[in-house]
Amino acid sequence: MRRAAMADLSVVIVSYNVRPLLADCLRSVIDECRGLAAELIVVDNGSGDGSAAAVRREFPGVTMVANAANAGFAKACNQGAAIATAPYLLLLNPDTVVRPGAIRCVREFMERTPDAGLAACRLLGADGRPQASIGYFPTIGRMLLQALLIDRWVLAGCRRAHDDTGAARPVDYLSGAFMMVRRDAVPGPELLRESYFMYAEEKDLARRLPPAGYRCYYVPCGDVVHLGGKSTEAKPLDNFLELHRSQVIYFCLHHPGAERAALIFLYGLFLATTTLASAFTVFSRHGRQRFALFLVSAVRYPLLAARACRSVTVP
């Protein structure tokens, strides 16, 4: 893909040790963007599997930024955004395959919808079943339901109704696997806030749009296959703890005093109740792994939460 002097669309992919999947992703994007003035940027976060060299060799039209070490998802996205030239920026996971029409239809929607600051299409798993493409901002009520382990049943009808509609509609936030961003919609110097190493950036970005007059839209006009979690399989505990840290940072940045404290407490309660529930699954190998992850998380959470809040400037 030729790098355009001024592109209509910039695609930024952050990669970490997913060389075969990255190649499949790039091929699908290149096929989808034929005829578009598009540029494709890969930021490799210090992969040890030869990803950077493979991209340079097999995809000479792709701009490669090779970090010496893992800079984190948010910072790497910002590196790609800093050299992108287009008014629309697609943040795409490397473990995705874009089906025909998906990128074009979302971009066309954003062009005809002036208040669309962020948009995404439908996500499918490897088995073809729909994945969660949208999310709801955490509230005390929702976190309480989650801590009591009944959110799946209480909110299931609402989620199905939201996902099943064929019409584009505003949502709280979108999955970070595929996010098309209007560059002018994001206030401040950072596209993604670098307080997050990984996880929760999509919620944070969505919360920053309304003050600038923009919204998030779910646009189920095309499909993207998302394999999910492939770059984090090697270090499950580290990444699980990073997930909790990012959630706490989000609470600290976007919720005031008492509400913040309640959300942080309820998230810890959720870890504790899930640990107890997962104790009944230890008879399988997967169940034992799940129990161990939640047990360590619940034990470490109080100190982790305190450190996470101290790491950011709380409004």
Are 184 and 95 contained in the same domain? yes
Tens-place pLDDT, residues 141-196: 999 999 998 877 766 655 554 555 578 999 999 998 999 999 999 877 789 999 99
Q: Which of 231, 246, 274 is the last residue of a domain?
A: 231
Tens-place pLDDT, residues 232-243: 566 788 889 999
Check residue 112 and give its pLDDT.
95
Mean pLDDT lowest among 38-52, 149-163, 202-216, 290-304 = 149-163
Are 281 and 224 contained in the same domain? no
Are 197 and 69 contained in the same domain? yes
In total, how many domains does the chain have? 2
Q: Which of 189, 207, 231 is the last residue of a domain?
A: 231
Q: What is the mean pLDDT of residues 268-296?
A: 93
Check residue 293 and give its pLDDT.
92
What does residue 259 show for φ and ψ, rounded to 5 degrees? -65, -40
165 vs 225, which has greater pLDDT? 225
Tens-place pLDDT, residues 240-274: 999 999 999 999 999 999 999 999 999 999 999 99
Q: Give the percent of the chain with pLDDT over 70.
A: 92
Look at residue 244 and tell me if it is in a domain. yes
The CATH number assigned to the domain holding 76 equals 3.90.550.10
Element (H, E) at 297: helix 285-310
Look at residue 166 and tell me if it is in a domain. no
Look at residue 204 and tell me if it is in a domain. yes
Are 252 and 225 contained in the same domain? no
What is the residue range of 300's domain? 232-310
Check residue 161 and give its pLDDT.
47
133 vs 269, which has greater pLDDT? 269
Check residue 7 and give its pLDDT.
79
The DSSP bridge partners found for residue 45 are 67
Are 95 and 47 contained in the same domain? yes
Are 219 and 198 contained in the same domain? yes
Planar angle of CA 14, 17, 19, nearest 5 degrees? 85
The DSSP bridge partners found for residue 224 are 98, 123
Look at residue 274 and tell me if it is in a domain. yes
Q: Which of 189, 209, 231 is the last residue of a domain?
A: 231
Are 118 and 180 contained in the same domain? yes
Are 14 and 121 contained in the same domain? yes
Tokens of 151: 């959110």
User: SS3 for 248?
Assistant: helix
Closest CA to 118 of 200, 182, 50: 182
